């Protein structure tokens, strides 16, 4: 694929053996994610992966999470700038088709390659490993909020979403301090979300760097 910056990014094939095969740039990521819609476009308004990522980072911040977890939430879907966003039901279906054909979970393997490439590029692999449960939980809170505010889902008319534990005592609850369907949010353009993503990344990068320096200093490793 050709990214918005004009670079060639190879999704597969022999060219991927070259170190230059997958140029990963935060500008490309912010731009692509701000134009990729969630839920395969089945939303009441344009709702991008960039806006979703910022919501996840904001939920983490609202809970008092450290900058490292906030950064992980901002970047947890960054690879979708290259793989695109496949809806969760579609991911399951693709994996089932490939398993039924005697193969493996093809989509998961494909997605993991590119997710790890992005996380390695930004030195985030250990952050994702350390916060795996928290990332999943916050992502589901965001999903529950999005379902409530920007989709046509109705509890009485539609099937339960098992991923949100619908109908159980542990059902994932949406946030109560923001409304994704508000006129204010709806009026914001994709360019706003692109810049907001870049701004949040820069701020969290500075904060995570400061956190690391404090930890190292506390351990007596630097003056």
Q: Which tens digit of pLDDT belongs to each residue from 37-86?
A: 999 999 999 999 999 999 999 999 999 999 999 999 999 999 999 999 88
50 to each of 46, 63, 91, 145, how far by Cα in Å? Answer: 11, 20, 20, 15
- Residue partners of 33: CB distance under 8 A and separation at least 6: 48, 49, 50, 53, 77, 78, 80, 81, 193, 194, 197
What residue ranges do the domains of the chain occupy?
22-218
Give per-residue pLDDT as tens, 163-197. Answer: 999 999 999 999 999 999 999 999 999 999 999 99
Domain 22-218 has CATH 3.40.50.150: no
Which whole number is the average pLDDT over 141-169?
A: 97
């Amino acid at each position: 694929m050709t990214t918005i910056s004009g670079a060639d990014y190879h999704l597969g094939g022999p060219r991927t053996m070259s170190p230059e095969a997958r140029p990963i740039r935060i500008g490309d990521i912010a731009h692509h994610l701000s134009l990729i819609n969630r839920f395969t476009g089945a939303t009441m308004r344009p709702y991008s992966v960039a806006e979703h990522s910022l919501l996840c980072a904001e939920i983490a911040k609202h809970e008092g999470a450290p900058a490292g977890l906030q950064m992980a939430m901002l970047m947890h879907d960054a690879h979708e700038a290259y793989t695109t966003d496949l809806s969760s039901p579609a991911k399951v279906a693709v994996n089932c088709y490939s398993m039924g054909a005697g193969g493996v979970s093809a989509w998961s393997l494909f997605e993991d390659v590119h997710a790890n490439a992005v996380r390695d590029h930004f030195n985030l692999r250990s952050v994702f490993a350390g916060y795996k449960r928290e990332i999943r939980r916050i992502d589901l809170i965001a999903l529950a909020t999005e379902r409530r505010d920007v989709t046509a889902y109705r509890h009485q008319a539609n099937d339960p979403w098992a991923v949100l534990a619908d109908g159980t005592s542990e059902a994932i609850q949406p946030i109560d301090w923001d409304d994704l369907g508000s006129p204010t949010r709806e009026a914001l353009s994709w360019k706003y979300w692109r810049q907001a993503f870049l701004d949040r990344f820069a701020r969290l990068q500075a904060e995570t760097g400061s956190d690391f320096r404090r930890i190292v200093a506390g351990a007596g490793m630097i003056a």
